[in-house]
Amino acid sequence: MHVIGSKKRYDLKDIEAYMGHLEEKKSSNTYRHFCFTVLKTFYGCFGWGWWSRQEERRIKPKLDEPKMPYYKEKEMRGILESIASRTPMERAIIRIICLRPTRRIELHRLNREDYAKPLLRIKTAKGGIATTLTLDNLTCNLLDQYLSEREDKDPALFVTSIGRIQPTTLSMLVKKILVEVGAYKKGYGIHAFRRGITTALYKVGLSERELLEYGGWRTAQMVNHYIRLEPGEVDSKVKNIHPLIRR
């Protein structure tokens, strides 16, 4: 749609027709929602009339539900078993993101001094609380081997040939490892491990308060954001414990 000078103005019927055209083209709800918001802002800048709030709800596309893939416990166990032949650094990184809901930026920020066997101090991102992770023996041994083989004096815990490992490099490295061991799933990045281990720990009994502490989140709302439940899972659990239908 074009506006020539200040003379041409499209009627709201044209906006509605345009949104219908996008739907016919099978444009995603997210893209249609974006276009709708841009047009609304444009009309507002020129002081042109717009729909009432009730009419707008009829036309405005709904956003797609965000895709939040996660690795299930069985899948993470399989990944840990499949990386046995990888380098100590690669194995240590994969083990850390399977042990604790860890962000890329948190791995990027880790320094040598943050590791004091068997403890790993993680400076939580996004205003969270710094936490200390107790590592298992295998992860400690991998970190010890990796650090003993390094000849540089870079303070960073994880490095590449050009210095401290970057978040984007971490994403590419994890993807490369998963592809090569046959465990890669499209759309599943480091956050899929973050959701996966949070969900797994919740299902084995950790409370929201305990998960809050373990992951370094600020609010329980953030913990709930990472817990993924399968369809019918809650209903099945309720049937087993409901006082009026329990058998």
Residue 63 is predicted with a pLDDT of: 67
Residues 39 and 155 in one domain: no
- Dump pLDDT digits (tens) for 90-99: 999 999 999 9
Specify if 164 maps to a domain.
yes
Specify if 231 maps to a domain.
no
Residues 104 and 188 in one domain: yes
Render the burial of 18-44: b for 16+ CB within 10 Å, e for the rest. Answer: bbeebeeeebeeeebbebbeebeeebe
Note down the domain range covering 182. Answer: 73-226
Residues 126 and 29 in one domain: no
Count: domains in the chain: 2
Specify if 202 maps to a domain.
yes
Residues 137 and 53 in one domain: no
Specify if 1 maps to a domain.
no
Residues 82 and 190 in one domain: yes
Specify if 139 maps to a domain.
yes
Specify if 5 maps to a domain.
no
pTM (global) more than 0.75: no
Residues 112 and 86 in one domain: yes
Residues 23 and 143 in one domain: no
Of 20, 18, 15, 5, nearest in space to 49 by CA? 15
Residues 26 and 142 in one domain: no
> Which segments in the chain show pLDDT lower than 70?
1-10, 63-66, 128, 246-247
| DSSP for residue 216 | T
Structure tokens at 181: 């061991």
Other Cβ atoms less than 10 A from the Cβ of 61: the count is: 19
Specify if 118 maps to a domain.
yes
Residues 101 and 41 in one domain: no
Supply the CATH number for residue 153's domain: 1.10.443.10
Residues 45 and 148 in one domain: no
Residues 88 and 180 in one domain: yes
List CB contacts of 71: < 8 A, sequence separation 6 or more. Answer: 79, 188, 192, 193, 195, 196
- Dump pLDDT digits (tens) for 205-245: 999 999 999 998 888 888 988 988 877 777 777 778 878 87
Residue 88 is predicted with a pLDDT of: 98
Residue 228 is predicted with a pLDDT of: 86
Strand 131-134 vs strand 159-160: parallel, antiparallel, or unpaired? unpaired
Residues 35 and 134 in one domain: no
Specify if 79 maps to a domain.
yes
